[in-house]
Chains A and B, each alone.
Chain A
Amino acid sequence: MKLQAVIVGAGPAGVRAAQTLAAHGVRPVVVDEAPRWGGQIYRQPPPGFTRAKETLYGFEAARADAVHSAMAGILDKIDYRPDTLVWSAEGSQLDLLAQGQMRTLPYSHLIVATGATDRVLPFPGWTLPGVYTLGAAQVALKFQGCAIGSRVVFAGTGPLLYLIAYQYAKAGAKVAAVLDTASFAGKAAAAPAMLGQPALFAKGLYYLGWLRLHGIPVHQGVELTHATGDERVQAMHWRKAGREHHIDCDGVGFGYALRPETQLPDLLGCRFRYDTLQRGALPERDAAGRSSVTGVYLAGDGAGIMGADAAEWAGERAALALLADAGKTIDAARAASLESRLAGIASFRHGLERAFPFPAGWAAAAPDELVVCRCEEITAGELRRCVADTGAREMNRLKALTRVGMGRCQGRTCGVAAAEILAHACAAQPDAVGRLRGQSPIKPLPFSAIVAAAVKQEAA
Protein backbone atom coordinates (compact mmCIF):
# COMPACT_ATOMS: atom_id res chain seq x y z
CA MET A 1 0.00 0.00 0.00
CA LYS A 2 1.27 3.44 -0.90
CA LEU A 3 1.89 5.64 2.16
CA GLN A 4 -0.38 8.67 2.03
CA ALA A 5 -0.20 10.51 5.34
CA VAL A 6 -2.75 13.19 6.12
CA ILE A 7 -2.73 15.48 9.15
CA VAL A 8 -5.85 17.39 10.14
CA GLY A 9 -5.00 20.53 12.07
CA ALA A 10 -2.00 22.85 11.99
CA GLY A 11 -1.74 23.76 15.65
CA PRO A 12 1.19 22.67 17.85
CA ALA A 13 0.35 18.95 17.49
CA GLY A 14 -0.23 19.03 13.73
CA VAL A 15 2.87 21.10 13.02
CA ARG A 16 5.19 18.84 15.05
CA ALA A 17 3.62 15.77 13.44
CA ALA A 18 4.20 17.24 9.97
CA GLN A 19 7.76 18.21 10.81
CA THR A 20 8.50 14.69 12.07
CA LEU A 21 7.06 13.03 8.97
CA ALA A 22 8.93 15.43 6.68
CA ALA A 23 12.19 14.72 8.54
CA HIS A 24 11.70 11.04 7.70
CA GLY A 25 11.13 11.70 4.02
CA VAL A 26 7.35 11.40 4.13
CA ARG A 27 5.35 14.21 2.48
CA PRO A 28 2.09 14.62 4.41
CA VAL A 29 -0.96 16.56 3.35
CA VAL A 30 -1.73 19.06 6.14
CA VAL A 31 -5.34 20.21 6.10
CA ASP A 32 -6.30 23.15 8.29
CA GLU A 33 -9.44 25.25 8.57
CA ALA A 34 -7.47 28.41 9.43
CA PRO A 35 -5.80 30.66 6.87
CA ARG A 36 -2.42 30.41 8.63
CA TRP A 37 -0.82 27.74 10.82
CA GLY A 38 -0.45 27.91 14.59
CA GLY A 39 -3.81 26.56 15.79
CA GLN A 40 -5.84 28.56 18.27
CA ILE A 41 -3.21 29.02 20.96
CA TYR A 42 -0.52 30.20 18.55
CA ARG A 43 -2.95 31.68 16.04
CA GLN A 44 -1.18 34.12 13.74
CA PRO A 45 -2.72 37.45 12.91
CA PRO A 46 -3.52 38.20 9.25
CA PRO A 47 -0.77 39.66 7.04
CA GLY A 48 -0.20 43.36 7.72
CA PHE A 49 -0.52 43.16 11.50
CA THR A 50 2.54 44.46 13.27
CA ARG A 51 2.48 43.49 16.96
CA ALA A 52 5.51 41.50 18.08
CA LYS A 53 5.13 37.89 19.17
CA GLU A 54 6.03 38.96 22.72
CA THR A 55 2.92 41.13 22.71
CA LEU A 56 0.70 38.48 21.14
CA TYR A 57 1.81 35.40 23.04
CA GLY A 58 3.48 36.74 26.21
CA PHE A 59 5.43 34.04 28.07
CA GLU A 60 4.59 31.68 25.21
CA ALA A 61 6.25 33.85 22.53
CA ALA A 62 9.29 31.62 22.14
CA ARG A 63 7.17 28.49 21.87
CA ALA A 64 4.81 30.16 19.42
CA ASP A 65 7.74 31.29 17.33
CA ALA A 66 9.28 27.81 17.42
CA VAL A 67 6.05 26.24 16.17
CA HIS A 68 5.56 28.92 13.51
CA SER A 69 9.17 28.57 12.32
CA ALA A 70 9.00 24.78 12.29
CA MET A 71 6.08 24.93 9.89
CA ALA A 72 7.62 27.70 7.77
CA GLY A 73 10.70 25.51 7.41
CA ILE A 74 8.84 22.53 5.95
CA LEU A 75 6.35 24.18 3.60
CA ASP A 76 8.22 22.80 0.57
CA LYS A 77 8.22 19.31 2.09
CA ILE A 78 4.50 19.04 2.77
CA ASP A 79 1.25 19.58 0.90
CA TYR A 80 -0.26 22.35 3.04
CA ARG A 81 -3.92 23.15 2.52
CA PRO A 82 -5.11 26.09 4.65
CA ASP A 83 -8.69 27.42 4.56
CA THR A 84 -9.85 23.85 4.14
CA LEU A 85 -12.66 22.31 6.16
CA VAL A 86 -12.85 18.57 6.75
CA TRP A 87 -16.60 18.07 6.93
CA SER A 88 -16.79 14.30 6.87
CA ALA A 89 -14.66 11.17 6.99
CA GLU A 90 -15.34 7.58 6.13
CA GLY A 91 -13.47 4.56 4.80
CA SER A 92 -9.93 6.02 4.51
CA GLN A 93 -11.18 9.16 2.83
CA LEU A 94 -11.80 12.70 4.04
CA ASP A 95 -14.39 15.02 2.56
CA LEU A 96 -13.03 18.54 2.16
CA LEU A 97 -14.48 21.93 1.40
CA ALA A 98 -12.15 24.65 0.12
CA GLN A 99 -12.99 27.82 -1.82
CA GLY A 100 -16.58 26.65 -2.11
CA GLN A 101 -15.51 23.38 -3.79
CA MET A 102 -15.96 19.92 -2.37
CA ARG A 103 -13.33 17.28 -2.93
CA THR A 104 -12.19 14.04 -1.37
CA LEU A 105 -8.79 13.17 0.05
CA PRO A 106 -7.78 9.52 0.45
CA TYR A 107 -5.26 8.50 3.11
CA SER A 108 -3.48 5.43 4.29
CA HIS A 109 -2.53 7.04 7.62
CA LEU A 110 -4.31 9.90 9.35
CA ILE A 111 -3.24 12.05 12.28
CA VAL A 112 -6.17 13.88 13.85
CA ALA A 113 -4.99 17.03 15.64
CA THR A 114 -8.20 19.02 15.68
CA GLY A 115 -7.68 20.84 18.97
CA ALA A 116 -10.23 22.08 21.42
CA THR A 117 -12.88 24.68 22.00
CA ASP A 118 -14.14 26.29 25.19
CA ARG A 119 -16.18 24.11 27.52
CA VAL A 120 -19.39 26.06 27.88
CA LEU A 121 -21.86 25.91 30.76
CA PRO A 122 -24.39 28.58 29.93
CA PHE A 123 -26.23 31.04 32.16
CA PRO A 124 -29.45 32.90 31.32
CA GLY A 125 -28.48 35.79 29.05
CA TRP A 126 -25.52 34.02 27.44
CA THR A 127 -27.01 34.49 23.97
CA LEU A 128 -26.96 38.29 24.30
CA PRO A 129 -24.62 40.07 21.88
CA GLY A 130 -21.43 40.88 23.74
CA VAL A 131 -21.25 37.53 25.53
CA TYR A 132 -18.48 35.38 24.08
CA THR A 133 -16.33 32.43 25.04
CA LEU A 134 -12.96 33.08 26.65
CA GLY A 135 -11.37 31.70 23.51
CA ALA A 136 -13.35 34.15 21.41
CA ALA A 137 -12.19 37.04 23.60
CA GLN A 138 -8.63 35.93 22.98
CA VAL A 139 -9.11 35.52 19.23
CA ALA A 140 -10.59 39.03 19.04
CA LEU A 141 -7.51 40.46 20.72
CA LYS A 142 -4.78 38.33 19.16
CA PHE A 143 -6.16 37.97 15.66
CA GLN A 144 -8.01 41.28 15.25
CA GLY A 145 -6.56 43.73 17.77
CA CYS A 146 -10.01 44.17 19.30
CA ALA A 147 -11.50 43.88 22.78
CA ILE A 148 -14.99 42.32 23.12
CA GLY A 149 -16.17 45.40 25.01
CA SER A 150 -15.05 48.62 26.65
CA ARG A 151 -15.75 47.16 30.12
CA VAL A 152 -15.29 43.43 30.09
CA VAL A 153 -16.06 40.76 32.69
CA PHE A 154 -14.21 37.45 32.46
CA ALA A 155 -16.00 34.55 34.12
CA GLY A 156 -16.08 30.79 34.57
CA THR A 157 -12.93 28.97 35.54
CA GLY A 158 -9.69 27.49 34.25
CA PRO A 159 -6.19 28.80 33.62
CA LEU A 160 -7.36 30.69 30.51
CA LEU A 161 -9.56 32.89 32.69
CA TYR A 162 -6.63 34.66 34.33
CA LEU A 163 -4.45 34.62 31.24
CA ILE A 164 -7.04 36.38 29.10
CA ALA A 165 -7.92 38.92 31.79
CA TYR A 166 -4.21 39.70 32.00
CA GLN A 167 -3.84 39.95 28.24
CA TYR A 168 -6.80 42.32 27.99
CA ALA A 169 -5.59 44.56 30.78
CA LYS A 170 -2.07 44.57 29.31
CA ALA A 171 -3.51 45.62 25.94
CA GLY A 172 -5.20 48.59 27.58
CA ALA A 173 -8.72 47.18 27.68
CA LYS A 174 -10.79 47.77 30.78
CA VAL A 175 -11.34 44.56 32.75
CA ALA A 176 -14.29 45.19 35.08
CA ALA A 177 -13.92 41.97 37.06
CA VAL A 178 -12.76 38.37 37.02
CA LEU A 179 -15.35 35.94 38.37
CA ASP A 180 -13.94 32.49 39.12
CA THR A 181 -16.32 29.69 40.10
CA ALA A 182 -13.36 27.87 41.66
CA SER A 183 -12.45 28.73 45.22
CA PHE A 184 -9.13 29.96 46.50
CA ALA A 185 -8.98 27.02 48.93
CA GLY A 186 -9.15 24.54 46.06
CA LYS A 187 -6.24 26.23 44.36
CA ALA A 188 -4.15 26.12 47.51
CA ALA A 189 -4.92 22.42 47.95
CA ALA A 190 -3.92 21.77 44.34
CA ALA A 191 -0.59 23.51 44.65
CA PRO A 192 1.53 20.42 45.47
CA ALA A 193 0.32 18.55 42.35
CA MET A 194 0.94 21.61 40.19
CA LEU A 195 4.50 22.03 41.40
CA GLY A 196 5.47 19.21 39.04
CA GLN A 197 5.30 21.91 36.36
CA PRO A 198 6.70 24.88 38.31
CA ALA A 199 6.86 27.20 35.31
CA LEU A 200 3.20 26.73 34.50
CA PHE A 201 2.24 27.07 38.14
CA ALA A 202 4.30 30.25 38.52
CA LYS A 203 2.67 31.81 35.47
CA GLY A 204 -0.77 31.22 36.99
CA LEU A 205 0.25 32.94 40.20
CA TYR A 206 1.86 35.75 38.24
CA TYR A 207 -1.34 36.56 36.32
CA LEU A 208 -3.44 36.56 39.48
CA GLY A 209 -0.91 38.74 41.31
CA TRP A 210 -0.66 41.14 38.38
CA LEU A 211 -4.44 41.54 38.17
CA ARG A 212 -4.67 42.23 41.91
CA LEU A 213 -1.78 44.67 41.74
CA HIS A 214 -3.52 46.58 38.98
CA GLY A 215 -6.72 46.88 40.98
CA ILE A 216 -8.79 44.47 38.93
CA PRO A 217 -11.38 42.82 41.18
CA VAL A 218 -10.99 39.04 41.29
CA HIS A 219 -13.84 37.15 42.97
CA GLN A 220 -13.32 33.44 43.58
CA GLY A 221 -15.79 30.78 44.63
CA VAL A 222 -18.69 32.48 42.84
CA GLU A 223 -21.73 31.04 41.09
CA LEU A 224 -22.59 32.77 37.81
CA THR A 225 -26.34 33.42 37.84
CA HIS A 226 -27.21 35.45 34.73
CA ALA A 227 -26.38 38.24 32.33
CA THR A 228 -28.84 41.00 31.60
CA GLY A 229 -29.20 43.60 28.91
CA ASP A 230 -31.49 45.17 26.36
CA GLU A 231 -30.41 43.69 23.00
CA ARG A 232 -26.83 43.44 24.25
CA VAL A 233 -25.15 42.55 27.50
CA GLN A 234 -25.20 45.31 30.11
CA ALA A 235 -24.51 43.53 33.40
CA MET A 236 -23.20 40.26 34.77
CA HIS A 237 -24.75 38.79 37.93
CA TRP A 238 -23.30 36.29 40.36
CA ARG A 239 -23.80 34.84 43.80
CA LYS A 240 -21.17 34.41 46.46
CA ALA A 241 -21.69 33.05 49.96
CA GLY A 242 -25.46 33.40 49.56
CA ARG A 243 -25.33 37.06 48.48
CA GLU A 244 -26.31 38.37 45.05
CA HIS A 245 -23.93 40.69 43.20
CA HIS A 246 -23.77 42.34 39.82
CA ILE A 247 -21.49 44.55 37.81
CA ASP A 248 -22.15 46.74 34.77
CA CYS A 249 -20.28 45.69 31.65
CA ASP A 250 -20.62 45.64 27.87
CA GLY A 251 -18.67 42.46 27.21
CA VAL A 252 -18.46 39.06 28.92
CA GLY A 253 -15.98 36.31 28.13
CA PHE A 254 -16.66 33.00 29.85
CA GLY A 255 -15.78 29.32 29.76
CA TYR A 256 -14.88 26.39 31.96
CA ALA A 257 -11.56 25.15 30.57
CA LEU A 258 -11.63 23.30 27.25
CA ARG A 259 -13.35 20.39 25.56
CA PRO A 260 -11.71 18.33 22.82
CA GLU A 261 -12.97 18.43 19.24
CA THR A 262 -13.63 14.72 18.67
CA GLN A 263 -16.08 14.60 15.81
CA LEU A 264 -13.64 13.20 13.24
CA PRO A 265 -12.48 10.24 15.35
CA ASP A 266 -16.15 9.61 16.05
CA LEU A 267 -17.09 9.53 12.34
CA LEU A 268 -14.10 7.25 11.74
CA GLY A 269 -15.44 4.73 14.24
CA CYS A 270 -12.76 5.20 16.90
CA ARG A 271 -13.66 3.66 20.23
CA PHE A 272 -14.37 6.16 23.01
CA ARG A 273 -14.06 5.83 26.75
CA TYR A 274 -15.41 8.06 29.50
CA ASP A 275 -12.70 10.04 31.20
CA THR A 276 -13.55 11.03 34.75
CA LEU A 277 -10.94 13.77 34.96
CA GLN A 278 -12.12 15.48 31.78
CA ARG A 279 -15.77 14.62 32.51
CA GLY A 280 -16.50 13.42 29.02
CA ALA A 281 -15.90 10.64 26.50
CA LEU A 282 -12.51 10.70 24.79
CA PRO A 283 -11.28 8.63 21.85
CA GLU A 284 -9.09 5.81 23.14
CA ARG A 285 -5.40 5.97 22.29
CA ASP A 286 -2.27 4.15 23.34
CA ALA A 287 0.73 5.95 24.80
CA ALA A 288 1.98 6.64 21.27
CA GLY A 289 -1.30 8.09 20.03
CA ARG A 290 -2.73 5.13 18.09
CA SER A 291 -6.53 5.11 18.12
CA SER A 292 -8.59 1.91 18.08
CA VAL A 293 -8.82 2.21 14.27
CA THR A 294 -5.75 1.02 12.35
CA GLY A 295 -4.02 3.90 10.60
CA VAL A 296 -5.74 6.61 12.64
CA TYR A 297 -3.64 8.51 15.19
CA LEU A 298 -4.70 11.13 17.73
CA ALA A 299 -2.63 14.00 19.07
CA GLY A 300 -3.04 17.23 20.97
CA ASP A 301 -6.00 18.68 22.82
CA GLY A 302 -8.40 17.10 20.29
CA ALA A 303 -7.66 13.74 21.88
CA GLY A 304 -7.93 14.99 25.48
CA ILE A 305 -6.94 18.29 27.05
CA MET A 306 -3.26 18.30 27.99
CA GLY A 307 -2.13 21.75 26.87
CA ALA A 308 0.02 23.15 24.10
CA ASP A 309 3.41 21.82 25.21
CA ALA A 310 2.05 18.30 25.51
CA ALA A 311 0.38 18.75 22.12
CA GLU A 312 3.78 19.30 20.51
CA TRP A 313 5.15 16.13 22.13
CA ALA A 314 2.04 14.12 21.26
CA GLY A 315 2.14 15.31 17.65
CA GLU A 316 5.73 14.19 17.28
CA ARG A 317 5.05 10.91 19.09
CA ALA A 318 2.02 10.09 16.91
CA ALA A 319 4.05 10.80 13.78
CA LEU A 320 6.79 8.44 15.00
CA ALA A 321 4.14 5.76 15.61
CA LEU A 322 2.81 6.29 12.10
CA LEU A 323 6.31 5.98 10.67
CA ALA A 324 7.07 2.84 12.65
CA ASP A 325 3.76 1.29 11.59
CA ALA A 326 4.60 2.12 7.97
CA GLY A 327 7.87 0.23 8.30
CA LYS A 328 10.22 3.21 8.70
CA THR A 329 13.09 3.24 11.14
CA ILE A 330 12.57 5.65 14.01
CA ASP A 331 14.56 6.77 17.02
CA ALA A 332 13.13 4.56 19.76
CA ALA A 333 14.84 6.51 22.54
CA ARG A 334 13.22 9.73 21.32
CA ALA A 335 9.83 8.02 21.21
CA ALA A 336 10.29 6.76 24.78
CA SER A 337 11.39 10.18 26.00
CA LEU A 338 8.30 11.82 24.49
CA GLU A 339 6.05 9.22 26.12
CA SER A 340 7.63 9.80 29.49
CA ARG A 341 7.18 13.57 29.16
CA LEU A 342 3.53 13.05 28.24
CA ALA A 343 3.05 10.78 31.24
CA GLY A 344 4.65 13.46 33.42
CA ILE A 345 2.03 16.03 32.50
CA ALA A 346 -0.74 13.82 33.90
CA SER A 347 -0.19 14.74 37.56
CA PHE A 348 -0.20 18.40 36.64
CA ARG A 349 -3.53 17.87 34.85
CA HIS A 350 -4.95 16.40 38.09
CA GLY A 351 -3.71 19.49 39.89
CA LEU A 352 -5.39 21.77 37.37
CA GLU A 353 -8.71 19.97 37.79
CA ARG A 354 -8.46 20.50 41.55
CA ALA A 355 -7.52 24.12 41.17
CA PHE A 356 -10.23 24.84 38.61
CA PRO A 357 -12.87 22.16 39.19
CA PHE A 358 -15.89 21.62 37.03
CA PRO A 359 -18.79 23.33 38.86
CA ALA A 360 -20.52 20.11 39.89
CA GLY A 361 -23.69 21.83 41.04
CA TRP A 362 -24.24 23.61 37.73
CA ALA A 363 -27.05 21.41 36.36
CA ALA A 364 -29.02 21.43 39.62
CA ALA A 365 -28.88 25.22 39.73
CA ALA A 366 -29.72 25.79 36.04
CA PRO A 367 -33.19 27.36 35.83
CA ASP A 368 -35.84 25.87 33.51
CA GLU A 369 -35.82 28.96 31.29
CA LEU A 370 -32.10 28.64 30.56
CA VAL A 371 -31.46 28.26 26.82
CA VAL A 372 -29.07 25.29 26.69
CA CYS A 373 -28.85 24.96 22.90
CA ARG A 374 -28.34 28.35 21.25
CA CYS A 375 -28.82 27.00 17.70
CA GLU A 376 -32.28 25.53 18.22
CA GLU A 377 -33.07 27.46 21.42
CA ILE A 378 -33.90 24.44 23.53
CA THR A 379 -34.27 25.22 27.23
CA ALA A 380 -33.25 23.23 30.29
CA GLY A 381 -36.96 22.96 31.12
CA GLU A 382 -37.71 21.34 27.75
CA LEU A 383 -34.92 18.81 28.30
CA ARG A 384 -36.19 18.02 31.80
CA ARG A 385 -39.78 17.68 30.59
CA CYS A 386 -38.61 15.30 27.89
CA VAL A 387 -36.86 13.16 30.47
CA ALA A 388 -39.95 13.19 32.71
CA ASP A 389 -42.41 12.51 29.87
CA THR A 390 -40.51 9.95 27.81
CA GLY A 391 -38.02 8.42 30.21
CA ALA A 392 -35.15 9.35 27.88
CA ARG A 393 -31.86 8.60 29.61
CA GLU A 394 -29.39 8.79 26.75
CA MET A 395 -27.99 11.81 24.87
CA ASN A 396 -28.81 10.71 21.32
CA ARG A 397 -32.35 9.82 22.37
CA LEU A 398 -32.69 13.25 23.97
CA LYS A 399 -31.35 14.82 20.77
CA ALA A 400 -33.85 12.93 18.60
CA LEU A 401 -36.72 13.97 20.85
CA THR A 402 -35.82 17.61 21.52
CA ARG A 403 -33.36 18.60 18.72
CA VAL A 404 -30.73 19.55 21.34
CA GLY A 405 -27.33 19.29 19.66
CA MET A 406 -28.93 18.96 16.23
CA GLY A 407 -28.34 22.55 15.11
CA ARG A 408 -25.51 24.17 13.21
CA CYS A 409 -22.97 23.65 15.97
CA GLN A 410 -23.74 19.91 16.12
CA GLY A 411 -23.45 19.97 19.90
CA ARG A 412 -19.97 21.53 19.99
CA THR A 413 -21.35 24.37 22.10
CA CYS A 414 -24.24 22.78 24.00
CA GLY A 415 -23.20 19.11 24.22
CA VAL A 416 -21.48 19.32 27.60
CA ALA A 417 -24.31 21.31 29.19
CA ALA A 418 -27.05 19.11 27.72
CA ALA A 419 -25.37 15.97 29.06
CA GLU A 420 -25.11 17.55 32.52
CA ILE A 421 -28.79 18.52 32.48
CA LEU A 422 -29.77 15.04 31.31
CA ALA A 423 -27.65 13.26 33.92
CA HIS A 424 -29.01 15.45 36.68
CA ALA A 425 -32.61 15.04 35.48
CA CYS A 426 -32.39 11.25 35.62
CA ALA A 427 -30.26 11.22 38.77
CA ALA A 428 -27.38 9.54 36.94
CA GLN A 429 -23.68 10.25 36.73
CA PRO A 430 -22.57 12.06 33.54
CA ASP A 431 -20.81 8.90 32.34
CA ALA A 432 -24.13 7.05 32.25
CA VAL A 433 -25.94 9.15 29.64
CA GLY A 434 -23.81 8.32 26.59
CA ARG A 435 -22.29 10.84 24.25
CA LEU A 436 -23.61 12.78 21.28
CA ARG A 437 -22.72 10.93 18.07
CA GLY A 438 -20.97 12.91 15.36
CA GLN A 439 -23.02 13.49 12.23
CA SER A 440 -21.81 14.38 8.77
CA PRO A 441 -21.46 17.17 7.78
CA ILE A 442 -19.84 18.22 11.04
CA LYS A 443 -20.11 21.85 9.93
CA PRO A 444 -22.69 23.44 7.63
CA LEU A 445 -21.97 23.29 3.90
CA PRO A 446 -23.06 26.06 1.58
CA PHE A 447 -25.95 24.96 -0.62
CA SER A 448 -24.05 26.14 -3.71
CA ALA A 449 -21.20 23.68 -3.00
CA ILE A 450 -23.67 20.81 -2.56
CA VAL A 451 -25.41 21.66 -5.85
CA ALA A 452 -22.08 22.00 -7.67
CA ALA A 453 -20.95 18.60 -6.36
CA ALA A 454 -24.26 17.01 -7.36
CA VAL A 455 -24.04 18.49 -10.88
CA LYS A 456 -20.47 17.21 -11.20
CA GLN A 457 -21.55 13.75 -10.08
CA GLU A 458 -24.46 13.80 -12.54
CA ALA A 459 -22.13 14.77 -15.39
CA ALA A 460 -19.75 11.96 -14.49
Chain B
Amino acid sequence: MKPITKSGALLHRVAEGGRTPVSFVLNGQPLKALAGDTVLTAVLTHGAQLRFSEFSGEARAGFCLMGACQDCWVATESGQRLRACGTFIEEGMRLVTGAEGPV
Protein backbone atom coordinates (compact mmCIF):
# COMPACT_ATOMS: atom_id res chain seq x y z
CA MET B 1 0.00 0.00 0.00
CA LYS B 2 1.19 3.50 -0.78
CA PRO B 3 2.18 5.70 2.14
CA ILE B 4 -0.51 8.05 3.36
CA THR B 5 1.04 11.46 2.90
CA LYS B 6 -0.29 14.98 3.10
CA SER B 7 0.57 15.56 -0.53
CA GLY B 8 -1.73 12.69 -1.38
CA ALA B 9 -4.74 14.33 0.24
CA LEU B 10 -7.86 14.37 -1.88
CA LEU B 11 -9.81 16.89 0.19
CA HIS B 12 -8.51 20.34 1.06
CA ARG B 13 -9.72 22.35 4.00
CA VAL B 14 -10.88 25.83 2.99
CA ALA B 15 -12.87 26.80 6.10
CA GLU B 16 -13.76 25.79 9.67
CA GLY B 17 -10.14 25.09 10.61
CA GLY B 18 -10.54 26.26 14.21
CA ARG B 19 -12.16 23.10 15.55
CA THR B 20 -10.73 20.82 18.25
CA PRO B 21 -8.17 18.33 16.95
CA VAL B 22 -9.04 14.65 17.13
CA SER B 23 -6.41 11.88 17.01
CA PHE B 24 -7.05 8.73 15.02
CA VAL B 25 -5.02 5.97 13.42
CA LEU B 26 -5.11 5.09 9.75
CA ASN B 27 -3.38 1.92 8.56
CA GLY B 28 -1.25 2.00 11.71
CA GLN B 29 -0.22 5.63 11.28
CA PRO B 30 -1.29 8.21 13.91
CA LEU B 31 -3.03 11.19 12.28
CA LYS B 32 -5.07 14.26 13.20
CA ALA B 33 -8.58 15.21 12.20
CA LEU B 34 -10.94 17.89 13.52
CA ALA B 35 -14.03 17.41 15.68
CA GLY B 36 -17.03 17.28 13.33
CA ASP B 37 -15.10 15.65 10.51
CA THR B 38 -16.70 12.62 8.99
CA VAL B 39 -14.51 9.53 8.71
CA LEU B 40 -14.39 10.31 4.99
CA THR B 41 -13.03 13.81 5.61
CA ALA B 42 -10.60 12.59 8.26
CA VAL B 43 -9.11 9.99 5.90
CA LEU B 44 -9.19 11.96 2.65
CA THR B 45 -7.54 15.06 4.10
CA HIS B 46 -4.52 12.74 4.47
CA GLY B 47 -4.87 10.19 1.69
CA ALA B 48 -6.57 9.47 -1.59
CA GLN B 49 -8.53 6.28 -1.01
CA LEU B 50 -11.04 4.72 1.36
CA ARG B 51 -11.41 1.28 -0.11
CA PHE B 52 -10.58 -0.86 -3.09
CA SER B 53 -13.08 -2.32 -5.55
CA GLU B 54 -13.78 -6.03 -4.98
CA PHE B 55 -13.74 -6.51 -8.74
CA SER B 56 -10.95 -4.43 -10.28
CA GLY B 57 -9.02 -3.74 -7.07
CA GLU B 58 -8.96 -0.07 -7.99
CA ALA B 59 -8.98 2.60 -5.30
CA ARG B 60 -12.24 4.30 -4.39
CA ALA B 61 -12.76 7.43 -2.34
CA GLY B 62 -16.53 7.77 -2.13
CA PHE B 63 -18.69 9.47 -4.71
CA CYS B 64 -21.96 11.03 -3.50
CA LEU B 65 -21.17 11.99 0.13
CA MET B 66 -24.85 11.62 1.00
CA GLY B 67 -25.37 7.95 1.65
CA ALA B 68 -26.76 7.02 -1.76
CA CYS B 69 -23.82 5.41 -3.57
CA GLN B 70 -22.51 3.27 -0.69
CA ASP B 71 -18.99 3.51 -2.14
CA CYS B 72 -17.23 4.79 0.98
CA TRP B 73 -17.25 1.87 3.40
CA VAL B 74 -14.13 1.57 5.52
CA ALA B 75 -13.25 -0.82 8.33
CA THR B 76 -11.94 -0.38 11.83
CA GLU B 77 -9.04 -2.55 13.00
CA SER B 78 -11.56 -4.63 14.94
CA GLY B 79 -13.50 -5.37 11.76
CA GLN B 80 -16.46 -3.02 12.23
CA ARG B 81 -17.58 -1.47 8.97
CA LEU B 82 -18.43 2.22 8.74
CA ARG B 83 -19.98 4.27 5.98
CA ALA B 84 -17.34 6.96 5.93
CA CYS B 85 -19.51 9.86 4.72
CA GLY B 86 -22.14 9.28 7.40
CA THR B 87 -19.98 8.52 10.44
CA PHE B 88 -18.15 11.14 12.50
CA ILE B 89 -14.53 10.57 13.44
CA GLU B 90 -13.96 9.81 17.12
CA GLU B 91 -10.89 10.18 19.29
CA GLY B 92 -8.76 7.06 19.09
CA MET B 93 -10.58 5.50 16.12
CA ARG B 94 -8.38 2.93 14.40
CA LEU B 95 -9.20 2.66 10.69
CA VAL B 96 -7.96 0.46 7.89
CA THR B 97 -8.51 1.26 4.23
CA GLY B 98 -9.06 -1.55 1.77
CA ALA B 99 -9.95 -4.29 4.24
CA GLU B 100 -13.64 -3.86 4.71
CA GLY B 101 -14.76 -7.08 3.04
CA PRO B 102 -18.19 -7.70 1.60
CA VAL B 103 -21.19 -5.78 2.91
Q: CB within 8 Å of B: which residues of A?
A: 33, 40, 45-51, 55, 117-118, 127, 129-133, 135-136, 139-141, 143-150, 171-173, 231-232, 250-251, 261, 374-377, 407-409, 412-413, 443-444, 446
Contacts and interface: CB of A to CB of B under 8 A. Distances in A.
Given A129-B59, A129-B60, A136-B63, A48 B14 contact: no
Contact of A374 (B10, B13, B45, B69): B69
Most A CB contacts (10 A, CB to CB) among B11, B13, B15, B62 go to B15
A413 B37 CA distance: 25
A405 to B, nearest CB: 13
Given A46-B88, A135-B64, A408 B14 contact: no
B70 A375 contact: yes
Contact of A45 (B11, B36, B56, B86): B36
A44 B36 CA distance: 12
Interface in B57-75: 58-71
Given A48-B20, A409-B70, A136 B62 contact: yes
Interface of B: 2, 8, 10-20, 35-38, 41, 45, 48-49, 53, 55-56, 58-71, 81, 85-86, 88, 103
A145 B15 contact: yes
Given A46-B36, A145-B15, A146-B11, 6 more contacts: A48-B20, A50-B18, A55-B15, A141-B14, A144-B16, A377-B53
B74 to A, nearest CB: 13
B62 to A, nearest CB: 7
Contacts of B86: 33
B10 to A, nearest CB: 6
Secondary structure call for the A interface: loop
Most A CB contacts (10 A, CB to CB) among B16, B18, B56, B60 go to B16
A141 B12 CA distance: 10
Contacts of A117: 64, 66, 68
Contacts of B60: 127, 129, 374
Contact of B12 (A118, A150, A377): A150
Given A127-B53, A408-B71, A146 B66 contact: no
Given A46-B36, A132-B63, A375 B14 contact: no
B80 to A, nearest CB: 8
A409 B69 CA distance: 5
A135 B68 CA distance: 11
A133 B81 CA distance: 23
Nearest to B35: A48
Given A133-B64, A136-B64, A146 B13 contact: yes
Given A129-B48, A232-B59, A446-B81, A149 B68 contact: no
B55 A377 contact: yes
B71 A139 contact: no
Contact of A413 (B20, B56, B65, B69): B69
Contacts of B20: 48
Contact of B37 (A136, A144, A376, A408): A144
A438 to B, nearest CB: 13
A145 B16 contact: yes
B38 A173 contact: no
Most A CB contacts (10 A, CB to CB) among B35, B49, B62, B69 go to B69
A140 B65 contact: yes
